[in-house]
Amino acid sequence: MTEPSVSLTTPPVPMSTASPAGPYAIVETSGTQVWVQPNRYYDLNRINAEIDSTLTLENVLLVNDGKAASIGQPYVKGATVELQVMAHRRGPKVIVYKMRPKKKTRRKNGHRQELTRVMVKSISVGGTALA
């Protein structure tokens, strides 16, 4: 039997360890940690705020200005992230189906997570905005 020939024209590319372009931050909100960048929108667990209102998050775990990162213990002092609430929505439907084998027991439930879509307006450290 002939062995298949393998030609490696391009070597495998390792994952990039370079940081993404522009500033970013890791914030803690709604019981989760979220990686955010300015002028992007994110879906977070429901936040009790009016649409078009502005929120300020002070639970900032890490801030990177594109050159150097500052890590908090547990939070970065003087760092804030400003968010604008765009809309309140619901996530995709998740079907929960429970069945006990060999018994005539079946239960089907659906769940849709309540979400808030927010736009990151600015990331600032010590009163100066990074972007």
pLDDT-derived band at 66, boundaries 50, 70, 90: confident
Q: Give the DSSP letter string of the chain.
A: -PPPP---SSPPPPPP-SPPSS-EEEEEETTEEEEE-TT-EEEEE-----TT-EEEE--EEEEE-SS-EEE-SSS-TTEEEEEEEEEEEE---EEEEEEETTTTEEEEEEE--EEEEEEEEEEEETTEE--
The tally of CA atoms less than 13 A away on the side-chain side of residue 7 is 1
Domain boundaries, the chain: 24-129
pLDDT-derived band at 130, boundaries 50, 70, 90: confident
Task: Identify the sign of the CA torsion 53, 56, 60, 64.
Answer: positive
pLDDT-derived band at 15, boundaries 50, 70, 90: very low
In this prediction the pTM is 0.75
Note the pLDDT tens digit of each residue in 101-124: 999 999 999 999 999 999 999 999
pLDDT-derived band at 1, boundaries 50, 70, 90: low
The pLDDT score that the predictor gives to residue 126 is 87
